[in-house]
Amino acid sequence: MKNRLRIAAVLLLLAGVLAGCSGKNENTEAGMQALRDLDYDAAAICFDSAEEAGENARLIARGRGILSMGRTDYEAAVDYFTAALQGSNGQLEPIDYDLNYYLAAAQTKLGDYVAAESCYDAILALDEQEDACFLRGNVRIASGRFEEARQDYDRVIAMDPDNYGRIIEIYNELSAFGYREAGLEYLQAVLDRGKDKLTDLEKGKIHYYMGDYSNAALSLEAARSVSADPESYLYLGQSYEAMGEYNYASNVYENFLSQVEGNAVIYNQLGLCYMKMGNYEGALTSFGEGMKLGDAAMAQSLSFNEAVTYEYLGRYHEAALLMENYLKTYPDDAVAQREYIFLETRE
Task: Give the pLDDT of residue 3.
Answer: 38
Q: What is the pLDDT of residue 141?
A: 96
Task: Report the pLDDT value the prediction gives residue 254, as an integer from 0 to 100.
Answer: 96
Q: Is the pLDDT of residue 22 over 50?
A: no
Nearest-angstrom CA–CA distance, 79 and 263 = 37
Can you give the pLDDT at residue 6?
40
Residues in CB range of 34: below 8 A, 6 or more apart: 40, 42, 43, 46
201 falls in which pLDDT band (50, 70, 90)? very high
What does pTM read for this prediction?
A: 0.84
Q: What angle do CA 109, 111, 115 make, to 5 degrees?
A: 95
The domain locations on the chain are: 1-127, 128-197
Per-residue pLDDT of 296-345, as tens digits, reads 889 999 999 999 999 999 999 999 999 999 998 888 888 989 988 888 88
pLDDT (tens digit per residue) in 84-111: 999 887 788 888 999 999 999 999 999 9
CB 288 within 8 A of CB 322: no
Residue 200: strand, helix, or coil: helix
- In angstroms, rounded to a whole number, what is the distance separating the alpha carbons of residues 63 and 82? 12
Question: Using CA atoms, how far apart are residues 58 and 50, in angstroms rounded to an integer?
Answer: 11
**pLDDT (average), residues 55-79:** 95
Assign a CATH topology to domain 128-197.
Answer: 1.25.40
CA distances from 67 to 42, 79, 87, 342 (A): 10, 12, 19, 29
User: What is d(CA 119, CA 278) in angstroms, rounded to the nearest whole number?
Assistant: 47
Mean of per-residue pLDDT scores for the chain? 90
Mean pLDDT to the nearest integer, 185-204: 90
pLDDT at 21: 45
Nearest to 131 by CA among 14, 306, 269, 224: 14
Q: For residue 2, what pLDDT is reported?
A: 37
pLDDT digits (tens, 9 = 90+) for 132-171: 999 999 999 999 999 999 999 999 999 999 999 999 999 9
CATH superfamily for domain 1-127: Tetratricopeptide repeat domain (1.25.40.10)
Max Cα separation, the chain?
61
- Burial annotation 59-79 (CB, 10 A radius, 16+ → b, else e): bbbbbbbbbbbbbebbebbbb
Does 218 score more than 70 pLDDT?
yes
Distance in angstroms between the alpha carbons of the first and the last residue of the chain: 32
Q: What's the pLDDT at 238?
A: 98
Whether pLDDT at 15 is above 90:
no
Percentage, residues of the chain above pLDDT 90: 76
* pLDDT at residue 175, as a whole number: 96
The pLDDT value given to residue 23: 54
Average pLDDT estimate for 115-121 = 96
Whether pLDDT at 19 is above 80: no
Mean pLDDT of 116-139: 95
Task: Give the pLDDT mean for 1-15.
Answer: 39
Specify whether the CB–CB gap between 4 and 169 falls below 8 A.
no
Question: What is the identity of the amino acid at 224?
Answer: R
Rounded CA gap, 74 and 110, in Å?
Answer: 7
Q: Is 289's pLDDT higher than 90? A: yes
Q: CA angle 65-66-72, nearest 5°?
A: 90
**Percentage of residues of the chain with pLDDT beyond 70:** 93
Q: Looking at residue 331, what is its pLDDT?
A: 86
In this predicted structure, the answer to whether residue 12 has a pLDDT above a threshold of 50 is no
Per-residue confidence (pLDDT) for residue 343, from 0 to 100? 84
